[in-house]
Amino acid sequence: MEYNKAVEGFRDKEYPMLRGKVYLDHAGTTLYAKSLIDDFSRKMLTNLYGNPHSRSEPAHLSGQEVDNIREKTLRFFGADPTHFDLIFTANATAAIKLVAESFRDLAVAGSTTGSFWYGYHKDAHTSLIGVRALTTKGTHYCFEDDAEVEEWLGGNLAKSKLPRGAGMPGLFAYPGQSNMTGRRLPLSWIARLRKSTRPQHQNTYTLFDAAALATTFQLDFSDPSTAPDFTALSFYKIFGFPDLGALIVRRESGHILSWRKYFGGGTVSMLTVLHEPSFIRRDTTIHGGLEDGTLPFHNIIALGCAMEVQRKLYGSMGSISKHTAFLSKRLYDGMVNLAHGNGQRMCVIYTDGSDTCSYGDSKTQGATIAFNLMDVGGVSIGYGQVEKLANDNGIFLRSGGLCNPGGLACYIKIEPWQFKRAWSAGHRCGDPGGQEIINGKPTGVVRASLGAMSTISDVDTLLTFLSKSFTDWSDDEKRAVPLADMVYFKGTTGNSIDSGIGSSVEEEPTPQCKHIKPTATPTSPQLVKVEEASIHSDASTELAIPTNSEPMRAEKTNFSSSESISGSASTEMAIPTNFNRWRIEETNLSSSESTPAASSTDLAIPTNFNRMRVRKPGIPSNTTTGLAIFGYAPATVKTLRDSAIITASMRNLRIAAEAQTDPLAKGKTPIQKRQAKNRSTRRRLQFWKNVDEM
C-alpha cells in the first residue's frame, strides 16, 4: 500500500478531461491517457495498414502488428506463448460466450447426456450467470459462498446439490473480483480443482472472469499448472482504450473450443457449399480457428500503444495496485466515520463481514466500495438520488444493480419473492426510473471505484460531498421540485418555485396554473394527500393516494343507481401495480352531489412512489377534474401565497389550490362579481384538467 504522488504531477497533462471533475467509476472503464491517443494517432498517420486477410504489403504489416501485440499481451500477464494462446474478442462477455458455446456444442456432440455441468459463484457478473442458460435438465449450480466452494473442493458437498451425470463435462466459473463490492476471491481454487483426484472433479475446467480484477491487479500466469483454463478480459477496464476484450486459453485445454460449431470468415481452411456441404477448420493455432471475420486490427494496434504508455506512466500493474489500495483504504476509513448529528452512521458499506476482506490489502480487496446512504432516522436514501446529486457536483459514480444479482441478494438481503415484487411494481434492471426502495430495502447500491490516475483529492472531494450533502438528511428534505418538463404556480407576490432542476414554462390558456412535483416518501408506502379546489363554497374533495410510474387503468362502475355519483357517470383511475394495498375513500362532493350517507365509494389500490393519474369525470356534468401526482426529488419547498400553498411534512404533502377572486372583479356590481367568481372557479377546474392531461 503506497501512494504514487507522481500521478499528481502528470494528471492535468495526461488526463485534461478530468480538470474540475472527480471520476470514480473505474470499475466501469478507466480513463485513457493523452499520450496513448497521441501515440496511436501518430502510428496510424505514419503507417499504411490493410486488412490482415489480404496479401498486400499493408495487409502484411497489419498481420505482423497483430501477431506481435498478441504475444506482447500474453507476456503482460506473465503468460508464456508456449503454454497459452490469446483470442481477441469484442469484450469479456464475448470471451465468456465463446467458452459457453463450445461447451454446449461439445456436450451435444460428445456427451451421452447431451449437456454439461456448470457451477458458478454467487458473486458472478450477469455475463457468467448467463452460461447456465446453455445447460439442459437443470445441470447448473450456484455456490452460495466461499465456504460452499471449499466444501465442494474438499469433497464434502452433498451430491444431491450437484446434478451431474456420469461422463458429463463440467465448467466451474467465478470472478477474480466482485464487480459490485471489489472483494477478491481465492486464486487457489483453480489449482486445487485441477489437482483433485475426486471423481466429481474430473473433466471439469475453469472459466475465470478477470475483467474487474485486472483493472488494478497484476495477473501472473507464469505457472501454467495454477492458471485458469480460460480467462476473460476487457482491455478498456485496464487502459481506458481500446474497446477490446480477449480470452486467454491454456493450450492443454484448447481442444474444448474446437467443438464450437459456428465458423466465420478466416477460420476455415476449406469450405464447400453445393452438393456436399463441408468445412475444415483451421488448426494451426487455437486463435486461428476462433477469431471469426476480420479482426479489429486498428484496436489491436492501439492496445500495443496502451501497454507501452501504461509502462511509462505507472511502471507496472503492481505499482497501480499499491496506489489504489492506499486510496481505497483512505476512502473506506473516511466513509466509516461519516455520521449524522444524532450518531446514526451515514454509510452502509457492503462487505462479506469476514477477516479475509480488508481495504488496503490488495490480495483480498480491490479498489471498489459498494455502499448506500442512510438518513438521520436510519432509512435508506435512494441510490439514484445520490448518484444524481453527485453528478450535479461533478462527481461521477455508478449506481444500481451493477449486473450482480447474487451480490445484491446476499449483501442487501433481498429474497427472490422481493425481487419479483419489485419487478411487478415496475422495477427494471438498468432503468433509471426504477423503484430504488421496496419495503424499506434498496434495490441497488452506489459504487465508487478508483483507478491508476485517481488521487487523494478525488477521495477527499467525495467524502466532503457526502458530508455536506447528506449529514442530518431526513424525510423532511424529500421535497417538491420543478422539472424541465413541468412548471409551477406563480403568486401575486412574485414568489415562485424555481429552485432545483429546470425552470418555469408558461402554458396557455391558463399560464398562472402550473404543474408541480410533490413529495412521496420512498422508504415505506406513504400517502400523498391532495385537496382539490372547492367546486362550491361548501364542498371539497380529498383523496389520499399512492403513486407509481407503471400505472394500470381501473374503472369504477356504478355501484347501483342509487349509489352512483351521477346516473350516467363512472369514475376512472389509473393506478399502479404492487402488493401493498391502501383504501381510498372519496369524501362528499357537495350536499347535492354526494353519494348516499350510508355508503361511500372506495377502492383498494396498490402503492408505489412515482406517478399515478386520477380522473373523476362528471362532478359537475360539464367539467372534468383530475390530478397528476409525481414522486420526489431534492430541492427547496417554498410557501406561496395568493395563488397556491404548498406544504411538506414528514409523512404527506398537501397541495391546496386556493380559490382566488378575479382581480378585475373589484368595484363591480354583485352580478359582475359573481360572474368573476365563476370565471375564477373555471380557472381552477382548468388547472386540474391541464395537469391531468400532462
**Residues involved in catalysis:** 403
Residues 6+ positions from 64 with CB-CB distance below 8 Å: none
b/e map of 456-493 (b: 16 or more CB within 10 Å)?
eebbebbbebbeebbeebebebbbbbbbeebbbbbbee
As a whole number of Å, the end-to-end CA separation of the chain is 56
Provide the angle, in degrees to the nearest 10, between the axes of the packed helices 383-392 and 456-470. Answer: 120
Residue 301, classified by CB atoms within 10 Å of its CB into exposed (0-12), middle (13-18) or buried (19+), is buried
Euclidean distance between CA atoms 173 and 142, whole angstroms: 10
Q: Name the strand (E) or helix (H) holding 119.
A: strand 117-121
Residue type at 165 in one-letter notation: G
d(CA 476, CA 56): 71
Element (H, E) at 681: helix 670-692
- Which of 381, 665, 632, 656 minimizes the C-alpha distance to 523? 381
Q: What is the DSSP string of 122-144?
A: TT--HHHHGGGGG-STT-EEEE-
Q: What is the DSSP string of 167-234?
A: T--EEEEEESB-TTT-BBPPTHHHHHHHH---GGGTTEEEEEE-TTGGGSS-----SGGGS-SEEEEE
How far, in whole angstroms, is CA 672 from its chain's centroid?
A: 59
